[in-house]
Amino acid sequence: MRGDEEQQEAVFVFDSLEDRVPADHPLRAIRRLVDKALQELSPLFDALYAEGGRPSIPPEYLLRAALLQKLYAIPSERRLSEHLEFNLLFRWFVGLPFSEPAWDHSTFSRNRERVLTSEVLAAFFEAIRRQAESRRLLSKEHFSVDGTLIEAAASIKSFRPQVQAVKPNRQRRGGKGRHRKPPGPGAGRNEDVNFRGERLSNETHASSTDPDARLAKIKGKEAKLSYRGHLLVENRHGLIVDCRLTQATGTAEPEAAAAMLGRERARQGQGPMTVGADRGYNTRGFVREARALKVTPHVARKRRYNAIDGRTTSHDGYRISQRRRKVVEEPFGWMKDTGGLRKLVHRGLEKVEAIFILTCTAFNLRRLSKLLAEPPLHAANGAR
């Protein structure tokens, strides 16, 4: 029998958001991990707020909402606020009651300097990492390291001589170097720039919109204003154990890798450790610093100027590390395609670093939810 269409909704609805979310939804496992980490950060949140005054939006709400933006590839905070208004799943994950309206998108901008900082998000990352370590999901011996360029939210047209970068609205007239055509009718504000005859260098030029960004390029592609992100991944399950974001300098990758290995050595104490890496880390400085930390550098060999010898490359462990080190590419791919790091929307090293750490945390939460959903190895073997 055909049902009748309901023209008027009931006045009272006795239901909760908890009942609307399926018991096996992947966000439930992520929510449990996030709630436990936020409980550990409660003293840190107390120190950020004054004792008196008007109550603010709970920082737990803001952090959960920021995670949703990364997990579901929501392009902007304005769109995220719209989702919180009608998406019951998102409301449940954030903890926002059904009776309360979603906050305005500008709330993120006002609270970013207080809550969504690199200090708070680094503590949040470490809290999630400790949960993975307590479940024995992290390898303590074998790691992989790599870096990638992240395109900054700045146009190449803003890359100007440093004297000129102080006053970006002032145009150069006459002389050699960059020539700017006067805007014609209907040309808008996107002026034409000719770089012919001008040598662009990070030593003499800077972006007028994002001074922390540096001009860098990948072989075979054009140079862009960028930052450089670095990851240290354990080889067992591909979880990120450490992350850093730096300026895109020529020596940023080995320097950041050495710093991350130093922190990991301090966590693990004494014991054998290996690190797999590509040819960019096959430098005498990085190999020397890794060996000083008692970490065996399994870096890819070069045809010339090889910093490692046969004592390292002759072992089976070296071949395994070189094959397994590609696991570090998966986080970078997800962070750029889903996490919104293909091209940044924030400017400044401090803000970009905070977003990078948040995206790394989102990847670990996504990976952990899948690992925890899998049956234990002994149970799977017993079922067979």
- Which pLDDT belongs to residue 384? 39
pLDDT score of 248 more than 60: yes
Q: How confident is the model at residue 167 (pLDDT cuts 50, 70, 90)?
A: very low
pLDDT score of 14 more than 70: no
pTM: 0.86
Average pLDDT of span 127-134? 96
Average pLDDT of span 237-247? 96
Average pLDDT of span 147-172? 74
- Which pLDDT belongs to residue 327? 92
Residue 107 or 375, more confident: 107
Query: Phi/psi of residue 88, each to 5°?
Result: -70, -35
pLDDT score of 79 more than 70: yes
Residue 171 or 223, more confident: 223
Residue 79 or 201, more confident: 79
Lowest mean pLDDT among 31-35, 45-49, 86-90, 186-190: 186-190
Judged on CB neighbours under 10 Å (0-12, 13-18, 19+), 124 is buried
Beta strand pairing call for 296-299 and 274-277: parallel
Q: Which residues pair with 233 in a beta bridge?
A: 144, 240
pLDDT score of 175 more than 50: no
Q: Which residues contact 142 (CB under 8 A, 6 or more apart)?
A: 234, 235, 236, 273, 274, 276, 321, 324
Radius of gyration of the chain (CA): 25
Distance of CA 204 to CAs 164, 168, 229, Å?
Answer: 10, 15, 24
Q: Which residues contact 107 (CB under 8 A, 6 or more apart)?
A: 57, 62, 81
Structural domains of the chain in order of their starting residue, each with its CATH number: 17-111 (no CATH), 139-153+224-346 (3.30.420)
Helical residues (DSSP H) of 209-281, grouped into ranges: 252-268
**pLDDT (tens digit per residue) in 332-366:** 999 999 999 999 999 999 999 999 999 999 999 99
Most confident range, picked from 73-77, 179-183, 305-309: 73-77
pLDDT score of 184 more than 90: no
pLDDT score of 3 more than 70: no
- Which pLDDT belongs to residue 383? 39
- Which pLDDT belongs to residue 144? 95
- Which pLDDT belongs to residue 252? 93
